[in-house]
Amino acid sequence: MAFDYDKYIRPGKLPHIWCPGCGHGIVMKGLIRAIDAVGLDKKNTAIVSGIGCASRLPGYIDCCTLHTAHGRAAAFATGVKMAKPEMDVILVGGDGDGTAIGGNHFIHACRRNINMTYIIMNNKIYGMTGGQFSPATPTGAKASTTPYGNPDPAFDIAKLAIGAGATFVARGTAYHANQIDKLIAEAIQHKGFSVVEILDDCPTTYGRRNKFRSVIEMMNVLKDIAVPVKAAEKMSPEQLQGKILTGVLYKEEKPEYTTEYAKVIERAKAAK
Amino acid sequence: MAKKVAFLQGNEAAAQGALYAGCTFFAGYPITPSTEVAEVMSAELPKIGGKFIQMEDEIGAMAALIGASLTGVKALTSTSGPGLSLKQENIGYACIAEVPCVIYNVMRGGPSTGMPTGPSQSDVMCAKWGTHGDHPAILLVPASVQETYEETVRAFNLAEKYRTPVMVMPDEIVAHMRERIVFPEKGELEVVDRTAPSVPPEQYKPYDTSFGDVPPLAAFGSGYKFHVTGLNKMQDGFPTTKAEIVQAEEERQVRKVEANKADIMKWEEYLVDDADIVVVAYGSTSRSARFAVNEARKNGIKAGLFRLQTFWPFPEDRLLQISKKVKAFITPEMNLGMCHGVVKGCIEGNAPVLGIFRVDGEPINPGQIVDKMKEVK
Amino acid sequence: MEKKLPTIEIIEKYCKGCHICVEFCPTKVLEMQGFVAAVKNLEACIKCMQCELRCPDFAIKVTP
């Protein structure tokens, strides 16, 4: 049987707003399959986003959905999760939303290790505002605000998450569609703050400025640069030059925030 | 049985008032001179199974507040001027998404870092105009520790009743001075909870105006699935740019407060009936004003006090009435004329409005107000 | 034994014509017909499902 996405898509909301060839739709499908695979209860699942193309995702999914202010998804979501830890909370958004204006909330959600899953669609650009460079735009790349090439170095978002304390960090690509749901499902099941970075494409505002002649060319780059972590172990540094590791990059068990706060409640009640 | 009394400061009273109102969630960020609220909440909330979280910044605290409120809990944050500036982004979000929450802001010297430990009353305009766009504003301005407690309870009631953020702003003097407080007993003060939906989940719309200007709000995780956004939205919660819907929704959001002013506004009139001079004051300044009015009366000056307990909505109609029979108004305040301008704007030129403005971190003393009365011809 | 053919449904009103399904089909089952994707050679389909998984627009349903 074909997978029934309609079970999770709100009636009448398709087609979505994303441009032809934008990978956000591929990621949304992966997320839906992951929600289904894990067996999350739609009534008890909150999907929270900030602002930007990727942040429009929650509007399509039939759950409790919260489309917040630019960069603030992690902070709004923290309020939801703290107040109602029994809810499953998933955050979605783009690279600019999550690592520039939302960078502080992002690293602190990682640090607290609060049991939520954050899916970052990294298309290396601010798409909705017309293609300004983001903290994930490669040095030298063209954006609407770097007409002479980008002078800024880029974040490695997965490394940033690991450094900040996230206890599950994975990376996939929009090309490797059959892997997305598996990575997200594992992230959701992990107890702690999990981050899944999906390398994505923006043909409209990134591709056309950076000499990609088509969506297909952008997809081919994602296909070519991705190296599964297992395969990378057998490769030399020279062979890994210009490649990006995919799969589960980091995983550890550490005390989870809402569980720790439940202990605070116990201690406070005992001291009363 | 005798009532429980205590010797508390305004900030502590606000925290106790919030707990009385049923607040079970606090998100904040440390800032002088409001930190005592966070400290009390961090100790008291877990005792009742509530949640306290110190967020990474003021913006995040305001965001967490809204997220928590959407799960059905009553949520409080506390801050002061610079924090209020940062919170404005998501105060606007709470206005448009219509999420009840209470923001307790202690007014200190500004702008910017200003005078962190000095009192002021210069955030009253920020309470109404701080966030961009048209939106409702409710601001309560208590003048004593007892009133800070009671008005914090009322702030939660108004937030829940009208599905909108409500601000409580004592000046730093009220926030930090200690006074005797008599705790109300359970049931003594009204406690309002938001209206839960009466329709089943499949029929629920978060902005369904068939229930009136304040549609019932379901809680996340209670069986109701719905969408919340900061974009202009339709009754079902999904974004729209349709002109007639945006216009109607924006007007309704403001109307929630404007059409219910009589329920929201509160003020005290002291010796106003036969007064030639009416002092319009709020917060700690109103205490100096009351003293000044009493002094003036002893000296044959017919003075009265109009004490604002809500600053927004502003009691424009009542002041207009009063203006028809007084010689002058005096507006003492710890800013450069914020209330002054509003009073002038609503009395149609019927009487002069004399201002006493201090922004030096010192309170306005009664003598200054009496001196100003003597200038009235 | 007769080979059971899958069904590939293209929801034309959702297809935005990005070409991803056509280009990355390992057996060239699909083609563009004007602005939308269409099935050209169903016989060649190996039911790998990649076209469905990679369609960003929810426009392809493959029933193996």
CA separation, residue B131 to residues A108, B127, B235, B267 (Å): 25, 8, 23, 26
**What digits encode the pLDDT tens for the residues A86-121?**
999 999 999 999 999 999 999 999 999 999 999 999
Amino acid at A220: N
Q: Say which residues have a Cβ less than 8 Å from residue B131's Cβ, sequence separation at least 6.
A: B88, B89, B91, B92, B95
CA separation, residue B99 to residues B33, B75, B160, B377 (Å): 26, 10, 8, 49
Final residue in a domain of this structure, among B236, B264, B292: B264
Q: Decide if A15 and C14 are in contact by the 8 Å CB cutoff.
A: yes
Residue-by-residue pLDDT tens, chain B, 377 positions: 689 999 999 999 999 999 999 999 999 999 999 999 999 999 999 999 999 999 999 999 999 999 999 999 999 999 999 999 999 999 999 999 999 999 999 999 999 999 999 999 999 999 999 999 999 999 999 999 999 999 999 999 999 999 999 999 999 999 999 999 999 999 999 999 999 999 999 999 999 999 999 999 999 999 999 999 999 999 999 999 999 999 999 999 999 999 999 999 999 999 999 999 999 999 999 999 999 999 999 999 999 999 999 999 999 999 999 999 999 999 999 999 999 999 999 999 999 999 999 999 999 999 999 999 999 98
One domain for residues B340 and B369: yes
Tell which of B29, B225, B234 to mutate to test the A interface (max A CBs under 10 Å).
B225
Amino acid at A201: D
One domain for residues B324 and B345: yes
Neighbours of B99 (CB within 10 A): 24
- The two structure tokens encoding residue A8: 């999770």
CA distance B356 to C46: 85
One domain for residues B109 and B149: yes
Pick the closest to residue B113 from B73, B152, B84 (CA basis). B84
What is the DSSP secondary-structure string of chain A? ----GGGTBPTT--S-SPPTT-THHHHHHHHHHHHHHHT--GGGEEEEE-SSSGGGGGGGBSSEEEE-STT-HHHHHHHHHHH-TTSEEEEEEEHHIIIIITHHHHHHHHHHT-S-EEEEEE-SEETTTT-EE-TTSPTT--BTTBTT---SPPP-HHHHHHHHT-SEEEEEESS-HHHHHHHHHHHHHSSS-EEEEEE---IIIIITTTT--SHHHHHHHHHHHEEEHHHHHTS-TTTTTT-EEEEEEEE-----HHHHHHHHHHHHHHH-
* Contact yes or no for B242/B230 (Cβ under 8 A): no
Q: What is the predicted pLDDT for the residue at B7?
A: 98
Please check the confidence at residue C2 and state whether its pLDDT lies above 90: no
Neighbours of B73 (CB within 10 A): 21
Touching chains, A (3+ CB pairs < 8 A): B, C
Please check the confidence at residue A68 and state whether its pLDDT lies above 60: yes
One domain for residues B231 and B272: no
CA separation, residue A52 to residues A17, A127, B242 (Å): 11, 7, 21
Residue A25 pLDDT level (bands cut at 50, 70, 90): very high
Between strands B115-119 and B108-109, the pairing is antiparallel
CA distance A257 to A85: 10
Out of A9, A15, A219, the one facing C20 most closely (by C-beta) is A219
One domain for residues B12 and B151: yes
Could you state, in order of their start, the residue ranges of all structural domains in chain A? Answer: 15-271
One domain for residues B303 and B162: no
**What digits encode the pLDDT tens for the residues A135-156?**
999 999 999 999 999 999 999 9
> Which residues on chain A are in Cβ contact (under 8 Å) with C63?
1-2
User: Collapsing DSSP states into helix, strand and coil, what is residue B288?
Assistant: helix
Q: Decide if A58 and B71 are in contact by the 8 Å CB cutoff.
A: no
Q: Decide if B63 and A86 are in contact by the 8 Å CB cutoff.
A: no
One domain for residues B161 and B40: yes
Q: Does C18 touch chain A (CB under 8 A)?
A: yes
User: Collapsing DSSP states into helix, strand and coil, what is residue B8?
Assistant: strand
- The two structure tokens encoding residue B111: 């702008």
**Residue recorded with tokens 């009742």:** B48
Final residue in a domain of this structure, among B214, B242, B264: B264
Q: Say which residues have a Cβ less than 8 Å from residue B210's Cβ, sequence separation at least 6.
A: none
Q: Decide if A214 and C61 are in contact by the 8 Å CB cutoff.
A: no
Start-end of H helices in chain B: 10-20, 35-44, 58-69, 81-97, 124-129, 145-162, 172-176, 243-258, 261-264, 283-298, 316-323, 338-346, 366-374
Out of B68, B225, B231, the one facing A64 most closely (by C-beta) is B225
Amino acid at B226: F
What is the DSSP secondary-structure string of C1-51? -PPPPPEEEE-TTT-----HHHHH-TT--EEEETTEEEES-GGG-----HH
B72: closest chain A residue by CA: A83
Q: What is the predicted pLDDT for the residue at C3?
A: 73
- How many structural domains comprise chain B? 2
Out of C17, C49, C54, the one facing A26 most closely (by C-beta) is C54
Amino acid at A139: T
Q: Does C53 touch chain A (CB under 8 A)?
A: yes
CA separation, residue B195 to residues A269, B161, B163, B187, B217 (Å): 30, 7, 9, 19, 6
Question: CA of A204 to nearest chain C CA: how many angstroms apart?
Answer: 12
User: Collapsing DSSP states into helix, strand and coil, what is residue C55?
Assistant: coil
> Which residues on chain C are in Cβ contact (under 8 Å) with A24?
56
**What digits encode the pLDDT tens for the residues A170-213?**
999 999 999 999 999 999 999 999 999 999 999 999 999 999 99
Q: What is the predicted pLDDT for the residue at B377?
A: 84
Prior bond of B197 cis (ω within 30°):
no
Q: What is the predicted pLDDT for the residue at C4?
A: 86
Q: Decide if A104 and B56 are in contact by the 8 Å CB cutoff.
A: yes
Point out which residues pair with B8 in neighbouring strands. Answer: B179
Please check the confidence at residue A261 and state whether its pLDDT lies above 60: yes
> Which residues on chain B are in Cβ contact (under 8 Å) with A79?
25, 27, 53, 63-70, 75
User: Collapsing DSSP states into helix, strand and coil, what is residue C62?
Assistant: strand
CA distance A80 to A48: 9
User: Judging by beta carbons within 10 Å of its beta carbon (0-12, 13-18, 19+), is residue A191 exposed, middle or buried?
Assistant: middle
Range of the domain at B228: 1-264
What is the DSSP secondary-structure string of A179-245? HHHHHHHHHHHSSS-EEEEEE---IIIIITTTT--SHHHHHHHHHHHEEEHHHHHTS-TTTTTT-EE
One domain for residues B151 and B186: yes
**Local structure of residue B327 (DSSP, 8 states):** S
One domain for residues B118 and B185: yes
Phi, psi of A169 (to 5 degrees): -135, 125
* Contact yes or no for A196/A173 (Cβ under 8 A): no
> Which residues on chain B are in Cβ contact (under 8 Å) with A58?
227
Q: Say which residues have a Cβ less than 8 Å from residue B307's Cβ, sequence separation at least 6.
A: B143, B267, B268, B269, B270, B281, B282, B286, B289, B290
Say which CATH architecture domain A15-271 belongs to: 3-Layer(aba) Sandwich (3.40)
One domain for residues B97 and B235: yes
Residue A29 pLDDT level (bands cut at 50, 70, 90): very high
Point out which residues pair with B104 in neighbouring strands. Answer: B78, B168
Element (H, E) at B231: none
* Contact yes or no for A141/A133 (Cβ under 8 A): yes
Mean pLDDT of chain C: 95
User: Region A38-66: what's the mean pLDDT?
Assistant: 98
Q: Does C47 touch chain A (CB under 8 A)?
A: no
Q: Decide if B90 and A272 are in contact by the 8 Å CB cutoff.
A: no
Q: Do chains B and C touch (3 or more CB pairs under 8 A)?
A: no
Touching chains, C (3+ CB pairs < 8 A): A
Please measure the distance between the N-terminal and C-terminal CA atoms of chain C and give it in whole angstroms. Answer: 17
B49: domain CATH number is 3.40.50.970
Tell which of B42, B91, B229 to mutate to test the A interface (max A CBs under 10 Å).
B229
**What digits encode the pLDDT tens for the residues B26-57?**
999 999 999 999 999 999 999 999 999 999 99
CA separation, residue C4 to residues A207, B113, C8, C50 (Å): 40, 74, 13, 19
Please check the confidence at residue C1 and state whether its pLDDT lies above 70: no
Residue A272 pLDDT level (bands cut at 50, 70, 90): confident
